[in-house]
Chains A and B, each alone.
Chain A
Amino acid sequence: MSEEILFKTIKEIPPVDYYVSGRRTCAGCGPALGYKLVAKAAGPKTILLGPTGCMYVANAHQFLTSPYALPWYHAQLGGGGAAGLGTAAGLRALMTKGKRKKEDINVVVYGGDGGFADIGLAGLSGALTYDYPRLLFVLYDNEAYANTGVQASSTTPWGAYTTFTPWGKIKRIGNDRLKKNVALIAAAHPGIRYVATACVSYPLDLMNKVRKALNAGGPTLIHLLVPCPKGWFFDAKDTVKVGRLAVETGMWALWEYDHGKFRLTVKPAQRKPVKEYMRLQGRFANLADEDIEYVQKLVDQEWKYWEEMDKLGKLILPWAR
């Protein structure tokens, strides 16, 4: 892996954007920020694909505008994996047969947690077993279906309110399922070259992971946490702050699995209590102190594994009890 492809400081990041104006995303939109950073890191020789999700619905609609300064195409909600696969296969066939100039072209599929953790998981998994280089799946995780209101997905965290997991007169907590970790599922594919988790509040970390993934030599996945002011019920000005707190409290671990080697890329020296992260968001408003204690316990337990993995440089299943 060449060091030249990585950004060392913010100053090295090119000023040109490939995800620009002409959209109608919410104020403080985390996924839009993610789109901008991922496209910037991928550069001009990129095809973007967007499975149905809030980033499909919010990025056009009125006046036939488009925020994409790169080729962009829609994939069906369950078709993100297949879309990346088909595009990469088409390009390789045309190049091998001499029907198109040979060139490195990135295919980046920017799909939501609904698209990649739920309905499209099989297709994503299938695509990760192939060998197409420069094929990157970015799972932008705002922990809910945000284009249809806010409905639970299998990455919605425990206790969160969504319109499908509301609290009520006899039900105290919202979502009672634990969050699915798609990055670990991706890492379980034999032969996968690069898998990482990221957060929009750590732009340099995210962009370098995009660069590494695209140069890894095979299909890759980045599981990107993107705070969503509308779905998480916090003030639009706090997007970056909430994302930072997710990492600082240990609710979201930033790691990479690079050619079989595991590493935490951001290590919070002293983890803040999860309460700081959860109390900032309306979706956890109904949780009692003891519920937050429960989450704290889960996070503490999980972190023993993350730290152990970091020390060993290997993957262990944190949920094998």
Chain B
Amino acid sequence: MSSARVKPLPPELVAVPRKHVWHGARAVAEAVRIADVDVIAAYPIRPYTGVMNAIAQMIADGQMMAELIVADSEHTQFEVAKHASTVGARTFVGSSGVGMIFATEAIIVTALAQCPVVALAGCRALDDPGNFGMEWNDVLTYRDYGWMISWPMSPQEALDATIVAFRVSEDPRVLLPTFVAVDGATVTHISGPVLAPDEKRIREGFLPPYKPPYPLDPDFGPVTKAQHVAPSLIGPEQRKCIDVAMKRAYKEVIPEAWKLYNEVAGRDYKPFVESWFMEDAKYALVTMGAYTINAIAAAKRMREKGVKVGVVRSRYMRPFPYIELRQALENVESVGVLDFSFSFGSPYSGGVLYTELKSALYEADVRPLITNFLFLGGREPSVGHFVKAVEIIQKYAELKRVEKNVHWLTLKGEDI
């Protein structure tokens, strides 16, 4: 209906792509639609469920065409995705928390069989007790099994990272599955402005249909895959293949993919590591995921007080960008790792990101002091906690030694 008092928008304004206000789960669903995924397997557990809700609605509305399997368990879910991938279908799956752990067997063989499945991990604390706060330990359980793990920080980036994950996973030099790990609630359920790339440009210029080198198809011929074989025949060689694929992903495929994606979708991502206020920083907070924003806010606050602090964020956990992180931290004196993961009984009783970063910086020319700040059990930290972290690493820099390696900042009671 037109009204004489409302002027039509000028055409150049209409042509500008509009931002949507989507929460992270909805944004990832959009990526799945744009990627023209063939088979999707769903089984509910929050906070990941929203992705499948949105996908199911899109299919019901005729906006995308895919086989949506409503599975009977997470184990079935991940097996369905793996087997659909063997015939050449592009597949998407996902889960959270203990549900994902139930699928562990299927998750591990997906990587060892080099099926390029893409899965969304809506990070959630593990049971017991039932806890729906955010923690990274569910997806970090799969740190060591050949899955790539990318860690977007916002709904916008979750969409972009999902599309890029398909391209990297399906690259014949890689053929490894990817977890897009989004922080439960803080990305999955937080709405923000999202700009979806043009579907046609992506499908034509970035993401061609998946063509497996040896599909399971009678027309292709008899292929026997993943059969029982003596370790003396291909044991270490098979593992080496995964290692080489992961190295290729790190050195070649992921940087290439993000460069091309930036061109096609009009984005400006660095492939592995992002930095804020790092030009003259003496101290740095190292993060992954959604709470990077809080870390930046804390850094800003401290900068106003004249404290030279910056923020470094890793966009991937696997492959772990150890070279880029080393470069980003080469001039700082003291580093604080903000960690939502934990490894009981690990060196200094610290988090996983902390242990990884410490190991990455062992080869650095000048090693900074490293302190771990833990946010465990799903309790939400505030900017104040991160400010506290900056104050602590500043103090350690002045002392020139770390007094206490690991701090549980949101803990009630004594941190012993």
Interface residues of A (CB under 8 A from B): 44-47, 49-50, 56-57, 59-64, 66, 68-76, 78-79, 81-87, 89-94, 96-97, 99-101, 103, 105, 122-123, 125-126, 130
Contact = CB atoms under 8 A, between A and B. Distances in A.
B72 A90 contact: no
A82 B216 contact: no
Given A45-B218, A87-B83, A91-B87, A81 B76 contact: yes
Given A79-B75, A93-B67, A94-B89, 14 more contacts: A59-B228, A60-B228, A62-B230, A70-B222, A72-B224, A73-B226, A76-B75, A76-B106, A86-B79, A93-B39, A99-B88, A101-B219, A123-B76, A123-B79
B72 A122 contact: yes
A47 B77 CA distance: 20
B273 interface: no
B84 interface: yes
A100 B88 contact: yes
A295 B323 CA distance: 70
7 contacts: A62-B233, A86-B82, A90-B83, A90-B89, A92-B67, A103-B219, A122-B72
B80 interface: yes
Interface string B204-239: 000001000000111111111111111001100000
A105 to B, nearest CB: 6
B73 A122 contact: yes
B interface residue count range (under 10 / 10 to 19 / 20 to 34 / 35 or more): 35 or more
B75 A123 contact: yes
Contacts of A82: 71, 75-77, 79-80, 83, 106
Contacts of B229: 60-61, 64
A72 B75 contact: no
A94 B72 contact: no
A64 B231 CA distance: 11
Contacts of B234: 64
Nearest to A18: B222
A125 B73 CA distance: 11
B65 interface: yes
Given A47-B217, A97-B38, A60 B224 contact: yes
A72 B227 contact: yes
Contacts of A123: 72-73, 75-76, 79
Nearest to A78: B75
B109 A76 contact: yes
B86 interface: yes
Task: Please give me the 7 A-B residue pairs with the lowest Cβ-Cβ distance, nearest first.
Answer: A86-B83, A126-B72, A82-B79, A90-B84, A90-B89, A86-B80, A66-B224
Interface of B: 36, 38-39, 41, 65-67, 69, 71-73, 75-77, 79-89, 91, 105-106, 109, 209, 216-230, 233-234
B285 to A, nearest CB: 41
Nearest to A62: B230
Given A75-B83, A126-B71, A70 B228 contact: no
B129 to A, nearest CB: 26
Contacts of B230: 61-62
Given A60-B229, A94-B87, A122 B67 contact: no
A123 B164 CA distance: 31
Contacts of A66: 222, 224, 227
A31 to B, nearest CB: 14
Given A44-B218, A71-B218, A90 B71 contact: no
A97 B229 CA distance: 36
B217 A71 contact: yes
Contacts of B105: 76, 78-79
A105 B91 CA distance: 20
Given A59-B228, A64-B229, A70-B218, A49 B83 contact: yes
A59 B227 contact: yes
B177 to A, nearest CB: 14
Contact of B76 (A57, A63, A122): A122
A68 B216 CA distance: 13
A111 B315 CA distance: 42
Given A64-B234, A87-B87, A90-B87, A74 B227 contact: yes
Contacts of A99: 38, 88, 209
